[in-house]
Structure formats: C-alpha cells, structure tokens
Amino acid sequence: MTERRTLYPEIEPYSTGMLDVGDGHSLYWERCGTPGAKPVVFLHGGPGAGISPNHRRQFNPAKYDIMLFDQRGAGKSTPHANLEANTTWHLVDDIERLREMCGVEKWMVFGGSWGSTLSLAYAETHPERVTELVLRGIFMFGQSELDWLYKYGASELYPDGWDEFLAPVRQDERGDLVGAYRELLIGDDQQAQLTAAKAWSKWEGLTVTLLPDPAMLAEFTEDQHAIAIARIENHYMLHKGWLEEGQLLRGAEKLRNIPGVIVQGRHDCCTPPRAAWELKRVWPEVELNIVLDGGHLYNEPGVLDGLIRATDRFAG
C-alpha cells in the first residue's frame, strides 16, 4: 500500500492583516508559502470555526501562495460572533475582495464541510476566477442534510449525544430545534446562551469525529469558540444558507470546465456521502475519492492523504 501523505512542516505567515469589507465587519487574513507562487484560497468550515495553523500545512509552501482568512464573525475577525450582514453571499463578495487585494486574476479554491458549500457558491458565481476546486465533506444545505443533523439520522448513531443536545431546549419546543436554539443563542440570558452554545458545538464535535477525540471536543466547547460556532452556524442553518433547495446542484453546470477533486469520508456522520455522490452525478468531470476508513475531519489519515495528493497534483 502506498504510504499516506501527511501535513507539510509548520510554517508562519509571510504577511497578515485586517480587511474592512463594510457592514461593520473586518476580516483577519494571512498569506503563507511563497509570494507569487500558485495562488489558492482556503475556506474554513463551520460556519464560524475560523482558521488554524495546521490549515496552512495542506499545501506545498514552495509551490503555493496561500490565502487563509477568518470569515465574518469567526476567529480573529471582528465583531466576534456577529450575525448582522453575515450571509453566504456576503462571504462570496468577501472572497472577491480578497482576490483583488492579492492582485491575482484567478486562484484555486479549497474548502471542506461548510467550506465546500462556500467554495461551490463562489465558483458558481465567479467561475472565471477559479482554476481548480478541492473539496471535502460536501454539504449543500438540502433539507435532507439539515434533517440528518437536527431531526433524525445522526441521532440514531449518537443517541447519548443527542440527549445532551436536546437538554437545553424545553420539551414543547423540540419540534424545531434550530429555531429553539436560535432564541437561546441570541437571547439576553448570557448563561443560557453559553450553555446552549456549548451543547450545540459539542453535538457538532461528536458528529465530525470518526473516533472519540476529547482534545477536539474541549476545543469545540471552549467558551469563545463555542459561542462563535453555535451562533453563526445556527444562523446559517436557520436560513438554509440563503440557498434555494437544490440551487448548488443546478448551478454545477458552471463547473464543468473547472478541474476538481472531492475527498469524502465513507463514514462521515456530519456530511454523509450522498451529497458528494449527487454532486458527482451533475458534475461528472470531478474526481470523487471516497475514503473507506474516513469520517469528516480533514486530518484523519485517509482524508488528509487525499487532500494533499490533490493539492500536490494541482501545484503543477
């Protein structure tokens, strides 16, 4: 068996800054790798999760000029966990502002989980600006995907975690969990908000791991991190990503001339393989790699191997 690829060595950004994108939002950004090399933009998950130092390491730093940024309200971007003027289409515009700031005509787009959603929305809006797409854990805000996470599906695999997820919500409000959580997460009771945020974020943490990961769950439920993930993610789920049912599938015709790779864990409990398969059916040119021992997270050995093989291939 061929040895699996792993992360490139640790690197530091060669440039960082804040970009005012209007509406009161400023985005933290960083550029890593080699200035003037092949440009790529990294789109993080969540929404609301932010970037981390290991995200930089999925690209050969000698061959890529890597743009990473915290989306509105996430990470070091300000204001923290803010929901105003924070939609899919605001973020699509932000990516264009960052591209223009970098002075590149087009770039590779790399995104996983929610980052795959945003990658597709951006590429279908600006196909002329995308050289390649590398996607992981496809999620397209279909009603079946939302039901899997917040109504039935994942709860069958994690019944103990599901009971913890239900706990902050009154019995008579459990018919609409996303809506009930919305009221808790935007309410004035700060303790109730934090309790709900940690429960929401812990549920996310359970579904993304193939095997238990206490350190990752501790990170997900840290106060500030949990607030950002829960508030922003719930906001997007409530509004179904500001996407019509099937919109990204219908728009996939615009991707037909863009080389692409999808890396999808067979046992991904957060974003099951059905969405990736449906995307492949309408975008037959894309390479779909289903990782037999993979779940959702990018740093699982088989998933990471697939992602780095894709970035190495497109590095040229």
Q: pLDDT of the chain along its 316 residues, tens only? A: 589 999 999 999 999 999 999 999 999 999 999 999 999 999 999 999 999 999 999 999 999 999 999 999 999 999 999 999 999 999 999 999 999 999 999 999 999 999 999 999 999 999 999 999 999 999 999 999 999 999 999 999 999 999 999 999 999 999 999 999 999 999 999 999 999 999 999 999 999 988 888 988 898 899 999 999 999 999 999 999 999 999 999 999 999 999 999 999 999 999 999 999 999 999 999 999 999 999 999 999 999 999 999 999 999 8
Q: What distance in Å separates the CA atoms of residue 202 and residue 207, rounded to the nearest whole number?
A: 9
Catalytic residue of the set 65, 70, 94, 113: 113
52 labelled catalytic = no
Q: Where in the chain is the domain with CATH 3.40.50.1820?
A: 15-142+242-314
Catalytic residue of the set 70, 94, 268, 305: 268
Q: What distance in Å separates the CA atoms of residue 192 and residue 198, rounded to the nearest whole number?
A: 10
113 labelled catalytic = yes
Catalytic residue of the set 55, 155, 296, 305: 296
For residue 231, report the phi and psi dihedrals to the nearest 5 degrees. Answer: -65, -50
Question: Domain 15-142+242-314 in CATH: superfamily?
Answer: Alpha/Beta hydrolase fold, catalytic domain (3.40.50.1820)
E strand map for 84-221 = 107-112, 130-136
Around Cβ 175, how many Cβ atoms within 10 Å? 10
